[in-house]
Amino acid sequence: MAKGKIAIIGDGNVGTNLKKGLERTGYEVRSVGKEPDKVRELAKWGECIILAVPPNEIDSAVKEMGDGFKGKVVIDPSNIVDASYDFAGDVDRSGAEKLQAQLRDAQVVKAFNTVFAENMSDGKASGETLTLFYAGNDDKAKKQVREMGEALGFDPVDAGPLSNARWLETLGFLNITLGYKQEMGTDIGFRLVHPDAKTERPTEMAASQRA
Ligand SMILES: NC(=O)c1ccc[n+]([C@@H]2O[C@H](COP(=O)([O-])OP(=O)(O)OC[C@H]3O[C@@H](n4cnc5c(N)ncnc54)[C@H](OP(=O)(O)O)[C@@H]3O)[C@@H](O)[C@H]2O)c1
């Protein structure tokens, strides 16, 4: 039985990779690009919506959804950068908080923005498990995102209320800076070391391989 219906608005790098991973792990997934009529239809269909459009298209996509988002979990993976890949967000009020103000009847969760699209389908970079940081105000909504992250292969970590999305957005910017400006490429990512991490620690792996 499918785990849930995920509607992905935007079928670019993020949309394609999340669709691939979520389908592999048993979710029913449909995605759509810049086709206003279909966006509304798809938003109504989904139990959870992932808004994987460029930041400057978020307002249009919100309008295109009509009331299809009402009562749903809406995942915001956006990183707000300008044409030169410089930070164009707001550390006093995150993009996710602005989105929540537009989608009052939805539960917005910030997630996936600290991960490169190429690493989203399995939650790994350079062969290691990545942390999936997520922030939101509704525990049920966050549980859904946590389960999604676990299914994909991430170690999900609750980063607190939606107001903390401002720090996830700056962390997402650091990821972009390291990948592109510092030329480390996209096979990189963040992992939080913590006692409950569902990942083997490299030192333990190395020790068990040596034994
Ligand atoms: N790429 C990454 O590694 C990465 C990582 C973390 C977070 N993010 C964030 O994730 C979001 C998506 O990034 P991306 O790299 O996937 O971008 P992308 O490859 O440019 O894809 C964006 C997709 O959104 C579609 N789109 C544009 N306007 C739309 C609208 N009004 N309604 C519906 N669909 C629309 C585009 O369709 P058309 O092609 O027809 O215009 C395209 O399919 C961005 O906010 C980005 O900051 C990206």
The structure tokens 């350079």 sit at: 126
What is the model's pLDDT at position 198?
Answer: 73
pLDDT tens digits, one per residue of 97-108: 999 999 999 999
Read off the pTM.
0.94
- 33 in contact with ligand 1, CB cutoff 6 A: yes
Quote the ligand 1 centre to 1 CA distance (angstroms).
Answer: 29
Mean pLDDT, range 30-49, rounded to an integer: 96
pLDDT in tens, 11-35: 999 999 999 999 999 999 999 999 9
pLDDT at residue 159 in the model: 98
Residue (of 115, 106, 44) closest to 79 by Cα position: 115
CB 17 within 8 A of CB 58: no
pLDDT in tens, 4-13: 999 999 999 9
Q: What are the DSSP calls for 63-106, one per residue?
A: HHHTTTTTTSEEEE----B-TTS-B-S-TTS-HHHHHHHH-TTS
pLDDT of residue 2: 75
Q: Ligand 1 centroid vs 9 CA: distance in angstroms?
A: 8
116 in ligand 1 pocket by Cβ < 6 Å? yes
* Among protein residues, the one whose CA lies closest to atom 5 of ligand 1: 116
- From the list 97, 25, 15, 1, the residue with the least C-alpha distance to 49 is 15
Token pair of 115 as six digits: 């991960």
pLDDT at residue 154 above 90? Answer: yes
> For a substitution probing ligand 1, which of 8, 32, 34 has the most ligand atoms within 8 Å of its CB?
34
Nearest atom, ligand 1, residue 118 CA: 3
Give pLDDT, residue 199: 63
pLDDT digits (tens, 9 = 90+) for 166-187: 999 999 999 999 999 999 999 9
Residue 207's pLDDT is what?
54
- CA quadruple 113, 40, 22, 137: dihedral sign: positive
Mean pLDDT estimate for the chain: 94
Q: What is the pLDDT of residues 68-106, one digit of tens each?
A: 999 999 999 999 999 889 999 999 999 999 999 999 999
Question: For 5-210, which CATH class?
Answer: alpha beta
Whole-angstrom distance, CA of residue 19 vs CA of residue 21: 6
Residue pair 47/6 in contact by the 8 Å Cβ criterion: yes
Ligand 1 proximity of 16 Cβ (cutoff 6 Å): no
CA–centroid distance, 154 to ligand 1, in Å, is: 21
Percent of the chain with pLDDT over 90: 90
What's residue 36's pLDDT?
A: 92
